[in-house]
Amino acid sequence: MKQNYTYLALGDSYTIGEGVEESGRYPNQTVALLNEKGMELELSGIIAKTGWTTNELAEGIEKAGIKGKKYDLVTLLIGVNNQYRGRDVENYKSEFKELLQDAIDFAKGNANHVAVISIPDWGVTPFAQERGTDQKKVALEIDIYNQANQEIAKELGAHYIEITERYREIGALPQMVVADKLHPSGLVYKEWAEQLVQVIEQKMIFD
C-alpha cells in the first residue's frame, strides 16, 4: 500500500464547516481518524462555500483550476441550497449528475473511490423552528432531493452515505448546532467522518 493518499472534498457549508474550527470539519476529522489508523491521507483541497448550489459548486471547481488533477478519494455533498431556494429537482438531478461525473474523473475515473453524502434536513434545527419553518415541507423536499442523489450515485457506481435520518434525531439538540443554530457542530461532523471512514476501510480498495 502506497503512502500519502490525497483527498478532495466538494460541497457547501456542510463541507466547509460553517461555524466550526477547521479541525472540526468532517473532511478534516476523516483525515485525522484515518491517520490515527495508519492510513496516510492528506486533505488536498476543499472546494466548498456556505450558500452554494450545484451550479455554484461547478463554477467554484472551474475557478479552482484543478481540471486534470487526480485524487485518491473524493466526497460530494451538495443540494441543500437548491432546496432552500426552491429550485427544481429536475435541474438538481442534471447538475448533480455532472458534478458526480466530475468527482469520479477527479478520482482517476474510479467511482469506488467516490462517496456521496446525503443532504441533512435543516428543518429540524432551532433556527428553522424559531422562524416558524414548515418542517414537513422541508423534510419532504429534502427526501426528494436525496432520492435523486442516491439514485444517481448508484447509477454511476459511487458509494452513498445516508446521514439524514440520524440528523433528524439529533439536529435540534443544542450541542449539535453552532452559534447560528442552523449549522452542525463538530459532534455531528464526527459521526459523518466515522461513517465515511467505515466505508473507506470496508468498501474502498487502495493500491
Q: What is the 3-state secondary structure (H, E, C) of the chain?
A: CCCCEEEEEEECHHHHCCCCCHHHCHHHHHHHHHHHCCCCEEEEEEEECCCCCHHHHHHHHHHHCCCCCCCCEEEEECCHHHHHCCCCHHHHHHHHHHHHHHHHHHCCCCHHHEEEECCCCHHHCHHHHHCCCCHHHHHHHHHHHHHHHHHHHHHHCCEEECCHHHHHHHCCCHHHECCCCCCECHHHHHHHHHHHHHHHHHHCCCC
Residue type for 108, please?
K
pLDDT of 129: 92
Q: How far apart are CA 77 and CA 118, in angstroms?
A: 7
Percent of the chain whose predicted confidence (pLDDT) is above 90: 96
pLDDT tens across 154-192, in order? 999 999 999 999 999 999 999 999 999 999 999 999 999
Backbone angles phi, psi at 177, to 5 degrees: -125, 155
Residue type for 14, please?
Y
Q: Give the residue extent of every domain in the chain.
A: 5-203
CATH class of the domain whose range is 5-203? alpha beta
Judge if pTM exceeds 0.85: yes
Residue 92: pLDDT above 60?
yes
pLDDT tens across 34-65, in order? 999 989 999 999 999 999 999 999 999 999 99
Q: How far apart are CA 124 and CA 130, in angstroms?
A: 10
pLDDT tens across 109-156, in order? 999 999 999 999 999 999 999 999 999 999 999 999 999 999 999 999
